[in-house]
Structure 1
């Protein structure tokens, strides 16, 4: 992955502060080689201390990098975090639910089967241990779909229909598996 592309993705996902990005803009030599002269001039002229600084930088750089590729990069990062199981793994599991709600229907097993349960107020975060090893299998399954081209994220549709992606999975692969975990609890037990 191109270093400018990686930094753009980190900016969009808010993994780097805007002030750090601004410093990077002024010091990164490959940036001038990557952008055309007008866009380079625009990116170094942005006032990064204003609320619109992030939007303006994204607008310039999105001409050079695919948002579909960004979403794939972001999803892969989340899945690898779930597999690695850091201390704050619950936030990555919850992000699966957010991704499902944003239009990534292929994240249904992780989003609805696991992530939704963590968004309910009852200390369900303590239940994360019970998700393993099954959640790892689900994360690896989605990574396999991305690796083999069964899921190809093409980007945003430009309308209010969510994110576009090609779904080449078989009907069997589309069947829900993660829901079984939540069905074992009574719906009202989430709020007790």
Structure 2
């Protein structure tokens, strides 16, 4: 992944503060080579101290980087954290529920089967330990779908339906495993 692209993704996901991003804009030589001269002038002219600074930067940079790739990168980061199991892993498992609610229906097993249970619990650690190692299998399934192109995130906003994606999974792969549908 191109370093400029990675920094853009970190900006969109708010993993980098706007002041640090501003300093990066003024010092990163690859940025000038990546953007057109007009867009480079625009990005260095943004007033990053205003509330609209983030929006304006995203508007310029989104011409160069796919939002579909951004969402895939973001989902992969969450999934990798669940595999790594840091002390605060519960927040990444909960994010699976948020992703499902945001329109990523292929996250149903992780979101509804695991994430929803944590959003209603005060005892994260006890419950999280019960999820392992089964949750790892679900995470690996989603990663496999992304790797194989069975899930392709277009990044186009479907307005009220969330971010659109192409679901090329077969019926068996779409069956819920982490929860049961009530009939």
Question: What TM-score comes out, normalization by structure 2 length?
Answer: 0.95
Which ranges of structure 1 fall in alignment gaps of 5 or more residues?
Answer: 184-192
Which ranges of structure 2 fall in alignment gaps of 5 or more residues?
Answer: none
Question: What does the per-residue CA deviation read over 1:67-118, in whole Å, with 9 as the maximum and x for residues that have no partner?
Answer: 0000000001110110110111011001000000000000000000001111
For residue 32 of structure 1, report the CA deviation from its aligned partner: 0.5
* Distance in 1, Cα, partners of 2:121 & 2:148: 37
Partner of 2:55: 55
Partner of 1:71: 71
User: Is 2:15 aligned against 1:12?
Assistant: no
Partner of 1:165: 165
Q: Write out aligned runs for 1:16-35 (5 A).
A: 16-35=16-35
For residue 162 of structure 1, report the CA deviation from its aligned partner: 1.1
Partner of 2:148: 148
Q: SS where residue 166 of structure 1 aligns?
A: strand
The answer on whether the counterparts of 1:117 and 1:124 sit within 8 Å (CA) in structure 2 is no
For residue 121 of structure 1, report the CA deviation from its aligned partner: 4.3
* Distance in 2, Cα, partners of 1:63 & 1:160: 23
The answer on whether the counterparts of 1:118 and 1:125 sit within 8 Å (CA) in structure 2 is no
For residue 51 of structure 1, report the CA deviation from its aligned partner: 1.1
> For the structure 1 residues 158 and 169, does the alpha-carbon distance in structure 2 shift closer, same or farther, using more than 3 Å as the test?
closer
For residue 54 of structure 1, report the CA deviation from its aligned partner: 0.7
For residue 157 of structure 1, report the CA deviation from its aligned partner: 3.1
- Stretches of 4+ moved more than 4 A in 1? none
Q: SS where residue 24 of structure 2 aligns?
A: helix
Q: Write out aligned runs for 1:41-190 (5 A).
A: 41-179=41-179
Question: What TM-score comes out, normalization by structure 1 length?
Answer: 0.91
The answer on whether the counterparts of 2:158 and 2:164 sit within 8 Å (CA) in structure 1 is no
Aligned length, in residue pairs = 181
For residue 123 of structure 1, report the CA deviation from its aligned partner: 2.6
